[in-house]
Every structure is written in structure tokens, then in C-alpha cells.
Amino acid sequence: MERSRIIKYCIRIYGDPVLKKRALLIEGINPEIRTLAQDMLETMYDAKGIGLAAQQIGKTLSICVIDIPVEADINEASERQNPEIEMPLVLIDPELFHLSKQTDSREEGCLSFPEIMGSVVRPSEIKIRYVDLKGQVRQFQACGLLARAIQHEVDHLNGILFIERMSQVKRVSLSGRLKRMRKKTAESIKTGSV
């Protein structure tokens, strides 16, 4: 049945306790999960993000969505990094089973932290195992921005936020803005506007 309306969720902002909760395994795909994945993609596109995890829409299920534009999937030599991985990705019950020793540092943003950017060091390459929307277990290797986005989203599913991976110096420099953000979120939760 075609749905007449796609739900765009409100994105939860830093300070919302749901962002610190760990996701529960989904273990079995049903129509509700397929609908949720579609709505998460729409919510992410609407917010102009490249990744979104369930906690960011107030749910504690192990599902995240990612869509890296082709033009962003390139290295310094302008070569495609992950040409065989089809976008968008819906990752259910994802599990990272290999992280490279080699790391790199790059500026990251997050839809739950409007206007905040900061460098995060992460392994350059990863291997991931997950369940797709057909219920099949799949795995692949990724590098570049895709590897980074996957690690950022899997962190969300574990209740870990990107600011926790920033340097102490950077966190101190952001502390005032983060405090204001937490306060504003707490106020909007209290008045019921979230």
C-alpha cells in the first residue's frame, strides 16, 4: 500500500537524554522497520545531512541511514573511494568487526549539534556487518568519508557523541556553546515542544 504521507521527524538536539541511550537490536525486519527507514532517509535529506541514527529521532533501535553523495566519495587525487557501495545505505543492527590501525583526522558535523564542527580522529578503514531491509546479513569494507560516517552513526547507536571523540582542547573551547545548547534543549523538553 502506498503511503500518502512520509513522516519527517523532529531531530533531537544535544541535551536530549535519548542521544545517550544505547540502541536495542532489531532482530527481524517488518513493515514498520521499512517505513521507519524511509522516514529516516526523508528526515536526513530534509535536514541536508549525510547520516542519521535512530536516537536522533528519539528512538532506541539499532538502525541508521547514510547517503554519501558521489562527489564527496573521493580522495585527494579525486578518485572514487567506495564505488561499489550503493547509496543510500540502511544499516540495521550494524557491527564494526575491523578498524584499521591507520587513522585520519577530519572535521565533522552532526545534525544533533547545529553549527558545531570539530576534528575527530578515526580509523581510516573499517569492515561492517549489518542486516539490510530484506533481512539479509551483509558486509563490506569502507574507507574515506563513508568509513567516517559509518563510525559516527554506529557511535550514535551506542550512545556516543562526536564531541566525546574530540580533543580536550576542542571540547573546552566548545563548552560554553554546548552548555547553552543543553539548557535550551532542557527548556524545550520541559515546555513539551519536543
| Active centre residues (catalytic) | 153
**Over 138-181, what HEC string results?**
EEEEEEHHHHHHHHHHHHHHCCCCHHHHCCHHHHHHHHHHHHHH
The three three-digit cell numbers of residue 172, written as one number = 573546552
Q: How far is CA 87 from CA 35, 68, 84, 185, in A?
A: 17, 7, 10, 32
What residue number has its CB nearest to Zn ion? 110
To Zn ion, the closest distance from the beta carbon of 77 in angstroms equals 28
Which residues lie closer than 8 Å to 53 by C-beta, 6 or more apart? 23, 63, 64, 153, 156, 157
Q: Which is nearer to Zn ion, 29 or 91 (CB)?
A: 91
To Zn ion, the closest distance from the beta carbon of 55 in angstroms equals 9
To Zn ion, the closest distance from the beta carbon of 71 in angstroms equals 21
Q: Which is nearer to Zn ion, 29 or 146 (CB)?
A: 146
Q: Which is nearer to Zn ion, 54 or 110 (CB)?
A: 110
Helix (H, G, I), strand (E, B) or coil at 94: strand
To Zn ion, the closest distance from the beta carbon of 35 in angstroms equals 22
> Taking the CB of residue 95, how many other CB atoms lie within 10 A of it?
16
User: Contact, 110 vs 162, CB < 8 A?
Assistant: yes
- How many amino acids of this chain bind Zn ion (CB under 5 A)? 1
Draw the binding track, 83-112, toward Zn ion (x: CB under 5 A; -: no contact): ---------------------------x--
Write out the binding residues for Zn ion, residues 107-136 only, by CB under 5 A: 110
Q: Which is nearer to Zn ion, 29 or 120 (CB)?
A: 120
| Footprint on this chain of Zn ion (rule: CB under 5 A) | 110
